[in-house]
Amino acid sequence: MKLLLVEDDAQLAAEIVRALRAEHCAVDHARNGEDGAHLGDTEVYDAAVLDLGLPRRDGLAVLRGWREAGRTLPVLVLTARDGWSDKVAGFKAGADDYLVKPFRLEELVIRLRALVRRAAAHGATRITCGPIHYDAGLGAFERDGLPLRLTGLEWRVLSCLILRRDSVVPRGELIERVYEGDAEVDSNSVEVIITRLRRKIAPARIESVRGLGYRLSPGEAP
């Protein structure tokens, strides 16, 4: 998953980023509402974690702006405002979920995975493509019933492809969803990851569609 975190508390943000990266997520972090709003408008994310009490622009204003502009990314509001009226205001502004501080990082990860799964319109938590099985709730891959060992970047690429299995994922979109915003991406790095994945998931195949991108297919049955 590629996620946007908009949080001005430096210590809390660092803890969240570490927890999400440990789950193989790419995370862009904005420290104020203006920067967060801009990233949400211009980058591609699987979900956003949005604080409400932000400098330069309030989180509710950021959220309303995204929704008025037609941005559909799932948004989990993260805030110390625990009153019922605050929750109602958050949901009316377009929040998909609401988590009150203090909270457990494990719960944040679980809620984000649930949001992304629902947004991808996959009713079942277990997604299959040939010998590859993906538990969207746990974020775990198996090949022929055995755990599939993947690096963080390999996990991000394969999860993006399996959620769009049998469809072509444009190369540019794949890069945006896999790498963090400030990362310098070598032109051949995605192809290197694809090559490693092809060896690990066979007979499932990752096809290169010339001029378009990549497509995950089941491959031939043994």
Question: Which CATH number fits the domain that encloses residue 24?
Answer: 3.40.50.2300
Residue 208 is assigned to a structural domain of this protein: yes
d(CA 209, CA 194): 13
Last residue of some domain: 119, 148, 178?
119
pLDDT at 116: 82
Residue 18 is assigned to a structural domain of this protein: yes
pLDDT at 177: 73
Residue 98 dihedral angles phi and psi, to the nearest 5°: -145, 120
Summarised one tens digit per residue, pLDDT across range 151-177 is 888 988 998 899 888 789 888 888 877
pTM: 0.67
pLDDT at 87: 82
Considering the domain architecture, whether residues 144 and 76 belong to the same structural domain is answered as no
pLDDT at 174: 83
Residue 181 is assigned to a structural domain of this protein: yes
pLDDT at 24: 84
Considering the domain architecture, whether residues 10 and 114 belong to the same structural domain is answered as yes
Considering the domain architecture, whether residues 18 and 81 belong to the same structural domain is answered as yes
Considering the domain architecture, whether residues 86 and 162 belong to the same structural domain is answered as no
Regions of the chain short of the pLDDT cut 50: 122-123, 221-222
Considering the domain architecture, whether residues 114 and 136 belong to the same structural domain is answered as no
Question: What is the domain count for the chain?
Answer: 2
Residue 222 is assigned to a structural domain of this protein: no
- Amino acid (one-letter) located at 81: R
Last residue of some domain: 119, 150, 176?
119
Considering the domain architecture, whether residues 15 and 106 belong to the same structural domain is answered as yes
Domain containing residue 150: 126-217
Query: Is the Cβ–Cβ distance between 59 and 50 less than 8 Å?
Result: yes
Q: Please list the alpha-helical segments (H only) found in the chain.
A: 10-22, 33-42, 59-68, 84-93, 105-119, 152-163, 171-178, 189-201
To the nearest whole number, what is the mean pLDDT of the chain? 87
Considering the domain architecture, whether residues 102 and 164 belong to the same structural domain is answered as no
